[in-house]
Structures are given as structure tokens and as C-alpha cells.
A and B are shown apart, each in its own frame.
Chain A
Amino acid sequence: MPPAAPRSGDAIFASVERVNAELFTLTYGAIVRQLLTDLEEVEEVNKQLDQMGYNIGIRLIDEFLAKSNVSRCVDFKETAEMIAKVGFKMFLGVTASVMNWDADGTCCSIVLEDNPLVDFVELPDTCQGLYYCNILSGVIRGALEMVAMKTEVTWIRDMLRGDDAYELQVKLLKQVPEEYPYKDDE
């Protein structure tokens, strides 16, 4: 039987169960507020958000692969396209675009214009160092690590800090070949 064709982000988003984005936005806001109250240091909150995103990412990748029917990506360029066009669409309902490829093809930017996490949000002066959407960088890092790519994800532009879009830089550090976990002679 020939493998099923990969489905587009819109098709998958239309077929999954959906919830109101405002519930999602407000819940995320409650999480960030709890973290700020508990941890108090903006850097700590950034790290914790990234860690939470990582925990989500390592499980999210399974759902992504199951629902989207993608075959193995040939190179990192295709991976980035998959994340932007299919991944963001099927989970957050927004499309992102990929740009600013460097010469090696290992570093690119994913640009989001619409971001459901940040509706109604304004950063107060006391939290200027906060990367409010840092959970997204953790999700991408976690998901890619589960498919054998070690990456570094950082924020280049952040609308809450006055820029005009959200831009994430995804840098491929190395491809970790899959290791067979058992020794053959045991």
C-alpha cells in the first residue's frame, strides 16, 4: 500500500478538535503570572518557560508525526518548512513563514505575525527582560531533539517588546544519529 500523502496544515487543523483560543491565551497568562510570583527573577521565568516548552515538545512531536503523515525530511530546510507551515497551523491555528537562511542551511528564522499566546498582553516595566512566548522556543527545541536534531532556539524579534513581528531563530547544532539502545550481545 503506498504511504498516505502528507496532509496540509489546514486540513489537519480542520480535522482536530479545537478549543477557543481565548481560553488558551488566558490559561497561558495564568501560568506566566504564577511563575513570576513564584520565581520573581525574569531570567528564571524564561528558563522555566523554556523547560515547560521542552516537556511539551517531546510529547507534541508524536502527535505531530501521527497526524501529519510526513515522511522523513530530506534536510533541515524541509524541517523548518514543516514546523512553520504544518506544525504551527495544526496546533495554534496560525501560519508562520521561514526566512533568512544562512549559507550552510543550518540556521533560519521562523516568523509569526499572529500569535494566540499574546492576545491582551502587555509587558509591564518590571518585566522587560521577559520572553513571554518562551514556551514556544522550548517546544521547538524539544520536538526537534526527539527527531535527532539538537538545536538552539532564540528570539530575535518580539512584538511585546516593540518589534513588528515574532521571529524565532532556529539553529541546527548537530544531527544526533539514532542509537540502538541495547547492546547486541546482551
Chain B
Amino acid sequence: MIGTGKIKQYANVLDKPLGKGKQEVSLSAFAFLFSELVQYNQTQVDNISELETRLEDAGYAVGARVLELLCHRDKGNRRETRLLGILSFVHSTVWKVLFGKVADSLEKGTEHEDEYMISEKELLVNRFISIPKDMGTFHCGAFVAGIVKGVLENAGFPAVVTAHFVPVEGQQRPRTTILIKFAEKVLRREARLG
């Protein structure tokens, strides 16, 4: 019927226009949702490393989709083939879209050739989270580590990504570092490309 409803009905979700990605929700809505994610997963696991794995898996799914969305919308379907290219994509574009700012820093590991670190003073997801003492080294940033892993792996750069707290002098709360350790074949390929 003409004039019924304001939204055009699309038969297929793939036909719907993507939107510019400028829509926003309140930080508290996201914080509530994230806390429910963590609480639900706490009931499903027995120990901390399983909890981190589950959060990472959730983040992986987000990362895979973010990569597809951003490649199509912001980069005009161009693919990154170089290591530094994909790292700066994660550090700038992905961070800017998801968290509203570029990551604080991107560093190359000094001890190992295959390690890179993205640091952030305070991850958005950790803003309203406090870790009880008996959970030791648990880091909700495992979710963000999962996002980074999802982006890297689906872009063809398999890596092991973890999140760590790094205490900083003069600051009460420790800094968060996302440690990215690339797989052997990525480095070999990078060396071949010169």
C-alpha cells in the first residue's frame, strides 16, 4: 500500500544501504551490554583463561565484520598487503571507528622480530570494569584483543593477540598493551616482498 510506514522494506538484508557509520549510542548502553557479556561468560567457564578465550572469540567475530565493513566503506575495497599497512590500519582506522580516537601508540617489539604492541592508556571497554584481586591477571581487554585478531586474521595476517596491563610510574591505573605476535609465514612473506 502506498504511504504505509516510512521505512522501505528490503527483501534481502544485503540490499539495505550501509549507512555512514555516524550513528551513536550512549557509552553507558555499551558499558551495560559489555558487562552483561562478561557476566554471562563468567557463568559458563571454570577458570580465567577460559573466560579470556570466550571474550576473545566474541571479539574475533566483531573484528571480522569490522574489517569487511571498513574495507568496503572507508577504503574502497582496497586490500592491505604489507605488515605496516595493516598495523596502521588497525591502529588508526579501526580504533577511530570503534573507539572514537586513534590508539595511543604503536610500537615494534625490541626482543622479538614478530611482536608489535598497540598501547592505550585506558581501553573504552575497561572504563567501568574493576577486576577483583582473586582474578589476578584477567583482562577484559581480551575482547579488544579478539577484535584485533579478527581483523588481522581475516586480512591474511594470522597472529596471536593478547591484552596486558603494564604498570606505569606516576599513574594509578596501569596502561593497557595489546601484544600482537605474527605467525611465521607472515614474516617470511613480508621478507619476500622486500
B-binding residues in A (CB < 8 A): 13, 16-24, 26-31, 33-35, 38, 48, 52, 55-56, 59-60, 63, 90-93, 113, 116, 119-122, 135, 159, 164-165
Contact = CB atoms under 8 A, between A and B. Distances in A.
B26 A13 contact: yes
A18 B5 contact: no
Nearest to A23: B98
A40 B93 CA distance: 36
Given A59-B32, A113-B7, A21 B24 contact: yes
B105 to A, nearest CB: 21
Contacts of B34: 27
Nearest to B64: A26
A164 B62 contact: no
Contacts of B124: 19
Contact of A91 (B12, B25, B39, B41): B25
A119 B23 CA distance: 11
Interface in B39-73: 39-41, 44, 54, 57-59, 61-62, 65-66, 69
Interface of B: 4-7, 9, 12-13, 19, 21, 23-30, 32-34, 36-37, 39-41, 44, 54, 57-59, 61-62, 65-66, 69, 97-100, 124
Closest 9 CB pairs of A and B: A18-B24, A122-B13, A21-B23, A30-B58, A17-B27, A164-B5, A26-B62, A91-B29, A56-B32
A28 B23 CA distance: 16
18 contacts: A13-B26, A16-B27, A19-B24, A19-B98, A19-B124, A20-B97, A21-B23, A29-B62, A30-B61, A31-B40, A34-B54, A38-B44, A59-B32, A60-B32, A63-B28, A91-B25, A120-B13, A120-B65
Nearest to B6: A113
A19 B58 contact: no
A90 B24 CA distance: 10
A90 B155 CA distance: 36
A31 B66 contact: no
Contacts of A120: 13, 65, 69
B108 to A, nearest CB: 27
A12 B145 CA distance: 32
A92 B26 CA distance: 6
Contacts of A19: 24-27, 30, 98-100, 124
Contacts of A91: 25-26, 28-29
Contacts of A116: 23, 25
B39 A24 contact: no
Given A27-B34, A31-B37, A22 B97 contact: yes
Contacts of B66: 22, 26
B24 A20 contact: yes
